[in-house]
Amino acid sequence: MNLDKVLGRTDSPIVLDEIVALRTHRSARAQGVRQSGQSNYQFVAELDANAQEWHLIDDRGRRSSAAGTWLLQDGEASMEIAFPRGMPKPVQMLYPESLLMWGRRSESFYTMLLQEVGRRSLLITFEHVEDPAFRATAVVNRSTGIIEKLAVLGDITILTEVKTGVQLDPGIKPEFLPITDWIRPDY
């Protein structure tokens, strides 16, 4: 890995390949919290890459899921979406190549810096293709290849509990405890 050096746009596919190579699992479950502006919610996200299936439930009782190719309805229009596209951010973090930030084709971000942070994590800084002052960051666990923290445009998603190699449970009924303090990083 090319650490602590400013990277060019053409380095993004190499960084993505290195992150994907860290993955040691095909299924994962994570509990976490997402904050956007003044609102936040807790969630449990599950992914089984072999089955091309994912599930997400939040503390408001909303559930979403998909398996393989699924149909997105928007009023009268519909569109087929194939795995891994269309996954919500918390699920994408379990499968980093699904994030639209790696400088591929029409993606607006590319990797510009890769650094070690803490004892087990990598910090990736992304830069917007049109505005070098517009940045986003991701913290990747080096032992799983899972993005445990993602910050884009003031929208922050943090995975607080991650388990790999788990069986998906679409009927999961998680218990969400009130958030009483800021979530301390464990990098």
CATH of the domain at 28: 2.50.20.10
Domain for residue 173, yes or no? no
Domain for residue 183, yes or no? no
Q: Is the peptide bond before 84 cis (omega within 30 degrees of 0)?
A: yes
**Residues 8-19 pLDDT 10s:** 999 999 999 999
Q: What's the whole-model pTM score?
A: 0.89
Domain for residue 185, yes or no? no
Number of domain units in the chain: 1
Domain hosting residue 157, numbered range: 9-164
**Residues 80-122 pLDDT 10s:** 776 666 788 999 999 999 999 999 988 999 999 999 999 999 9
Domain for residue 125, yes or no? yes
Domain for residue 172, yes or no? no
Distance CA 135, CA 127 (A): 5
- Measure the N-to-C terminal CA separation of the chain; round to a whole number of Å: 18
Kindly provide the b/e burial profile for residues 49-88, where b requires at least 16 CB atoms within 10 angstroms of the residue's own CB.
beeebbbbbbbeeeeeebeeeeeeeeeeeeeeeebbebbb
Please work out, in degrees rounded to the nearest 5, the angle formed at the alpha carbon of residue 29 by the alpha carbons of 185 and 168: 175
